[in-house]
Amino acid sequence: MIKQAEFGQLNMKEVHKAIDDVLADKTLKVDMNLANDIITRYLIKKQEAASIENTEKGQKFLEENKSKEGVITLESGLQYKILVEGNGVTPSPEDTVEVHYKGTLIDGTEFDSSHTRGESATLVLNQFIPGWVEGVQKVSEGGKIELYIPAELAYGSQKMGTIEPGSTLIFEVELIKVKKANQK
């Protein structure tokens, strides 16, 4: 949402007149295509700036996190920590997995949780973001893993719901069940 403060001081009398003109189907003082273009460019620039800032914060977080006990960093940049060793089947990308999970931003803000919804999630593993696909393969049934996913393995520079562009994500994932792709 665009806030008035982001555009500086607005002349509210002119804003109200413009709204009245639109409602009355009058000729406008500004070309709407030009106005839309200006707003679109502004929003793109704002999203790019947020992506850069969030990416830098994420890189700093991951740099500090990699030296914590139990954290493993993969070549892709994904970090993970096994919280509970599983004792069952390990999934491959084509397998269907049943999981409970909680997703947070690096500041601890929760953006998604199967626990909150009160039911586990079941999907083919390769339908998740790349960081999940790679990370969940590191744990077996009955196990629990914490994934530290850099933006490029999550949503990149795109905003996704409440997740800002360039965000590093943290997921705690409990792998409940694996159904191998070749099982009926």
User: What's the number of domains the chain is made of?
Assistant: 1
The domain in which residue 141 lies consists of 1-184
pTM of the shown model: 0.81
Contact 145, 36 (CB under 8 A): no
C-alpha separations of 160 from 7, 55, 112, 125, 151 in Å: 24, 15, 12, 19, 12
Most confident of 14-23, 133-142, 175-184: 133-142
- CATH code where residue 109 lies: 3.10.50.40
Catalytic residue numbers, as ranges: 101, 111-112, 129, 155, 171
Give pLDDT tens digits for 68-98. 999 999 999 999 999 999 999 999 999 999 9
